[in-house]
Chain A
Amino acid sequence: MSAGHLPRWVDYGLMPLLNLAAAFLVSGLVVLLIGENPLEAVEILIWGSLGWNEGIGFTLFYATNFIFTGLAVAVAFHASLFNIGGEGQAYVGGLGVAIACLALDRFVPWWVTLPFAVLGAAAAGAAWAFVPAVLQARRGSHVVITTIMFNFIAASLMVYLLVNVMGKEGSMQPETRTFEAGGRLPLLQDVIPGLDFGTAPLNLSLILALLASFAVWALIWRTKLGYEIRTFGASPSAAVYAGISPVRITIITMMISGGLAGMMAINEIMGSQHRLLIEFVSGYGFVGIAVALMGRAHPVGIVFASILFGMLYQGGAELAFEKPSITRDMIVVIQGLVILFAGALEQMFRPALIRMFSFARTPATEAA
C-alpha cells in the first residue's frame, strides 16, 4: 500500500462517518444559535421518526422517494455523469403515472394499473433526460447545465398542463381529479397483515424501491451494460478503445437515471396523493444528490442514506411541531450540510487521516 491510500474500511466507513458527524455537529450549532438544546432536538427527532409506528411509517414513506432519486443520481455517477435533473424528471414522471391511472383507474384493479404506471413513470422520466443526454453525447453541452434548465422547463410545463389541460373540471386547483381505487396503490399495512403504520401513507412503492435497488446493483456490477457504464465513467478513452460507444452509454445511462427519478412519482402520486398536483417533488430530486453521495453510489448505501433522510424528514416534522422555533427549514439546513460535508468537502479529513494512518503503520513496517 502506497502513501495516500487508506485502508478500505477508513475510505468507505470512517471517512463518511466523520463527514456525517461534522454535518450534524454544525447542525447542532445552528440549533444552539436559535436558542434550543441540540440534544433535546436529536431526541425528539429520533423518537419522532423511529419511536412509534406511524413515525416509522412516515420515515419509510419518505425514504422510498429518496431511494428512487438517490439511485437515479448514483447510476449517472457511475458513468461520471452528473444528473442534477432528478427534480424535473420526477415531476414529469408524475405525468406518466397520472396518465396511466386516469386512463385505467375506473376499469381495472390497481395491480393491472401498476405496470402501466411504472412504465409511464419510467418512460416520462427517461424522456425528460433524453434531450440533455443527447446534447451531452452529441454536442458536448454539459449535462449539469442542461438538466438544470430542464428542471425549470418541467416546472413550467407541468403548471401549464395542470392548469390548462389536465385540471379537474370546475376547479381552479392546479391538479387532476382524484384517482379511483384502480389508480391507488394499497398501503403496506393492508397487504401485509400485522403491520400498522397509522395514517402514514407507506405503500407498496417501498417494495418497488427495494427491487429497484437490487436491480441497479445487478445492473452496475453484474451486467455487461453496467461494466460498460463503469468503464466509460472511469476512463472515456479506455471505453472507446474497448469498443464502447460514448454516445450510446451516455444516452442509455441518462435514460435509466431519468427513469428511476421518474419512478419516484409512483410513491407520491399513485401511493399517497392519488392525484397529480403541482410541486409534488418538492426537492426530493435534489436530495437524491445527497443520498447518492452519502451512499457512495452503492444501492445498499443509498437505502441506508434514504432511511436517514427519511428520519430527518419525519423527525424534523415532529421537531417543528414540538419546538416551533425549529421549523421544517431545519431539515433543509441539515440536507445542505450533509451535501456540503459528505459531498463537496468529502476529502477534507483525508490528509489528516493519511497522516494518522501512515504514522500508525510506520512502526509496524519497521518491525516487519
Chain B
Amino acid sequence: MFEMMILILDSTVRLSTPLLLACLAGLYSERSGIFDIGLEGKMLGAAFAAGAGAAVTGSAWLGLACGIVVSVALALLHGFASITNRGNQIVSGVAINFLAMGLTALLGQDWFRQGGQTPPLPVEARFTSLDWPFAEALRDVPVIGGLYSELLSGHNLLVYVAFLMVPFTWWALYRTRFGLRLRAVGENPAAVDTAGISVTWLRYRAVICTGILCGVAGAYLSTAQSASFIKDMTAGRGFIALAALIFAKWRPVPAMFACLLFGFLDAVAIRLQGQELPGIGEVPVQFFQALPYILTVVLLAGFIGRAIPPKAGGTAYVKERT
C-alpha cells in the first residue's frame, strides 16, 4: 500500500511538472493583465522545437534553448497583438494555439518525415533522472527510503527547476520591484503609467517570462518525459494549467498545490483504470479527466472561495481622455 502510494505520488510529481511550469508561466502574463489561453500553443511549439533541436544537435540543452526561443517568439506575437495592437487577447490566444498545432505537425512531417514525430532522442540528448547522493544506499530503509529515493531523488533536472520556480516566483512577485509593478499593472495600468513606468514594456517583459517558462514546459514534454516530440503531445495540458492558475487564484504557492492536485488526479486515473473501488465500483477514467475542469468551474461559481482575476485582465491599456 505504501509502495503504491509512493508510486502514485512519484508519477504525480512527473505529471504535475509541465502543468506547474505552464501554470507559473500563465501567472506572469495574467498578473500583468494579459490573459493567455495560448499556453497550450506555446508549450506545443516549444515541445516541437526542443524535440527537433535536441534531435538535430544531439544536446538536450540546445533543444531546451530552441524550445524557449520558439515559445518566447509566440509569446511576443501574443504581446504584439494584445499590447501593441490592442487586439482581443482571447482571439490572439486561439490563433496561437492553431498556429502551433498546424506548424508543428506540418514542419515535423516536412523535416523528419516520421508522421509528425521528431526522431527518437538518444539518452545524452535528453534530460535524464538525477540520482541524489545515497539514494541507492537508502532505498531499502523503510519509509525514508521510499520517500527519499523514489519521491525526491531520481527526477530529471527540469522537475526540480519547476518546483524551484515556485519560491522564485513568489519572491519575484512579492519581494522585487518588477513583481510590485507587475502586480500593479494587472490591477490598474493607469496607476503604473502615471507613476512614470511604461505599461507596454512592463507587459512585454511579463509575456517574455511566460514564454520562457512555457518553453521549459514544452522541452520537458519532448526531451525529458518522452524521448521525442509527438503530434499534439500537449493534449490539453495548457488548459489544465490555466484551470490550475484560476484554482490557485493567480498565486504561486497555491498554483503548485493546484498542479499537484491535478497531476495527482491524472496519476490516480491511470492507476485506477479498469479497477473497482471498494464501495463505489468502477469510476470511469473520464471522470478523473474531467475533474480538474469541473473543480475549476465549481470554484468559479464561487462555491469554494471566489476566484477574482486581476482587475485589468483582458483589456488593452488606452490612455483615456479625461
A and B touch in the complex (CB under 8 A): yes
Interface size class of A (residues with CB under 8 A): 35 or more
Q: Are A332 and B101 in contact (CB under 8 A)?
A: yes
Q: Is the CB of B297 within 8 A of A144?
A: no
- Inside 8 A of A34's CB, which chain B residues have their CB? 106-107, 110
B145 at the interface (CB under 8 A from A): no
The segment out of B17-25, B146-154, B164-172, B236-244 that lies at the interface is B236-244
Q: Of A108-116, A207-215, A252-260, A336-344, which binds chain B?
A: A336-344
Chain B residues near A53: list those with CB within 8 A: none
**In the complex, B105 has a CB within 8 A of chain A:** yes
Cα–Cα, bound, A84→B300 (Å): 17
What is the bound-complex CA distance between A339 and B239, given in angstroms? 19
**A-side contacts of B80, CB under 8 Å:** 345
CA distance A261 to B178 in the complex (A): 43
* CB <8 Å contact, A343 and B87: yes
Contact A333 B87 (CB under 8 A): no
Q: Which residue of A lies closest to B86 (CB)?
A: A347
Contacts of A164 in B (CB 8 A): 284
Q: Is the CB of B99 within 8 A of A325?
A: no
| B309 interface residue (CB < 8 Å to A) | yes
Determine how close the nearest CB of chain B comes to the CB of A97; give it in whole angstroms: 21
Q: Are A339 and B300 in contact (CB under 8 A)?
A: no
Indicate if the CB atoms of B106 and A333 lie closer than 8 Å.
yes
B37-94 residues with Cβ-Cβ distance < 8 A to A are 37, 77, 80-82, 85-92, 94
Say whether A12 faces chain B, with CB atoms less than 8 Å apart: no
Interface status of A329 (Cβ within 8 A of chain B): yes
A330 touches B106 (CB 8 A): yes
What residues of chain B lie closer than 8 Å to A340, measured between beta carbons?
Answer: 77, 81, 92, 95-96, 99
Partner of A344, one of B87, B100, B286, B289: B87
* Cβ A141 vs Cβ B300 within 8 A: yes
Asked whether, in the complex, the Cβ of B98 is within 8 Å of the Cβ of A149, the reply is: no
Chain A residues in 8 Å Cβ range of B81: 340, 344-345
* Stretch in A37-45, A152-160, A298-306 with 4+ CB within 8 Å of B: A152-160
Q: Are B91 and A149 in contact (CB under 8 A)?
A: no
| Inter-chain contact B246/A336, CB cutoff 8 Å | no
State whether A159 and B102 are in contact (beta carbons under 8 Å apart), knowing that A144-B37, A336-B96 are contacts in the complex.
no
CA distance A160 to B309 in the complex (A): 32
Closest to B107 in A: A34
A29 to B77, CA, bound (A): 17
A-chain residues with CB within 8 Å of residue B85 when the two chains form the complex:
344-348
**Least Cβ distance of A257 to chain B in Å?**
15
- C-alpha gap A64/B222 in the complex (Å): 38
Min CB distance A321 to B, Å, is 14
- Could you say which of A327, A332, A345 contacts B98, with CB atoms under 8 Å apart? A332
Q: Is A286 an interface residue (CB 8 A)?
A: yes
Asked if A344 meets B98 with Cβ closer than 8 Å, knowing A131-B297, A164-B284, the reply is no
Q: In the complex, A33→B242 CA distance in Å? A: 33
Residue in A145, A148, A153, A327 whose Cβ sees the most chain B Cβ within 10 Å:
A145
**B11 at interface (Cβ–Cβ under 8 A)?**
no
Q: Is B302 an interface residue (CB 8 A)?
A: yes
Which residues does chain B contribute within 8 Å of A156, judged by CB atoms? 286-287, 289-290
Q: A149-B243, A347-B87 are in contact. Are A325 and B94 (CB under 8 A)?
A: no
Among residues 285 to 340 in chain A, which have CB atoms less than 8 Å away from a CB atom of chain B? 286, 289, 293, 325-327, 329-337, 339-340
Cross-chain contact of B95 among A35, A82, A331, A343 (Cβ < 8 A): A343
Chain B residue numbers with a CB within 8 Å of A334 are: 102
- Kindly list chain B residues whose C-beta atoms are within 8 Å of the C-beta of A336: 95-103
B296 at the binding interface (Cβ < 8 Å) = yes
Asked if A159 contacts B106 (CB within 8 A), the reply is no
Residues from chain A with Cβ under 8 Å of B128 in the complex? none
Q: Contact check: which of B102, B239, B242, B302 meets A329 at CB < 8 Å?
A: B102
Q: A152 with B106: in contact, given A145-B300, A344-B82 (CB under 8 Å)? A: no
**Once the chains are docked, how many angstroms separate the CA of A293 from the CA of B81?**
15
Interface residues on B, range: 35 or more
CB distance from B303 to the nearest CB of A (A): 9
Output the residue of B35, B85, B96 with the most chain A CB within 10 A: B85
Flag whether A135 is at the interface (Cβ < 8 A): yes
Min CB gap B302→A, angstroms: 5
Interface contact A327-B106, CB-CB below 8 Å? yes
Max chain A C-beta neighbours (<10 A), residue from B97, B98, B99, B236: B98
CB nearest to B78 among chain A residues: A344
Chain A residue, CB-CB nearest to B89: A344
Instruction: Tell me if B226 is interfacial: C-beta within 8 Å of chain A.
Output: no
Report Cα–Cα, A326/B103, bound state, in Å: 11
Q: Of B101, B236, B286, which one neighbours A160 at CB under 8 angstroms?
A: B286
Nearest CB on A from B33, distance (A): 14
| Residue A273 at the chain B interface, CB threshold 8 Å | no
Cβ–Cβ < 8 Å partners of A333 in chain B: 98-99, 102-103, 106
Q: Considering the chains assembled together, what is the distance between the CA atoms of A340 and B74 in angstroms?
A: 12
A142 on interface, CB distance cutoff 8 Å:
yes
- Nearest residue (CB) in A for B282 is A164
Q: A144-B37, A344-B82 are in contact. Are A289 and B91 (CB under 8 A)?
A: yes
Closest approach, in angstroms, between the C-beta of A152 and any C-beta of chain B? 5
Complex: A325 Cα to B246 Cα, angstroms: 40
Task: Give, as a whole number of angstroms, the nearest-CB distance from B287 to chain A.
Answer: 7
Tell me, rounded to whole Å, the shortest Cβ–Cβ distance linking A136 to chain B.
10
Q: A152 to B239, Cβ gap below 8 A?
A: yes
Q: What is the CA–CA distance of A325 and B98 in the complex, to the nearest angstrom?
A: 19
29 contacts between A and B (CB under 8 A): A34-B110, A84-B37, A139-B301, A141-B301, A142-B300, A144-B35, A145-B296, A149-B294, A149-B300, A153-B293, A153-B294, A156-B290, A157-B286, A160-B286, A330-B106, A331-B102, A332-B105, A333-B103, A333-B106, A335-B98, A335-B102, A336-B98, A336-B103, A337-B99, A339-B91, A340-B81, A343-B92, A344-B85, A344-B89
13 more CB-based (< 8 A) A-B contacts, given A135-B301, A148-B37, A334-B102: A139-B300, A142-B300, A145-B242, A157-B290, A289-B94, A327-B106, A332-B106, A335-B102, A336-B99, A339-B91, A340-B95, A345-B81, A347-B87
Pick the 6 closest A-B CB pairs, nearest first. A336-B98, A332-B102, A333-B102, A344-B92, A336-B99, A156-B290
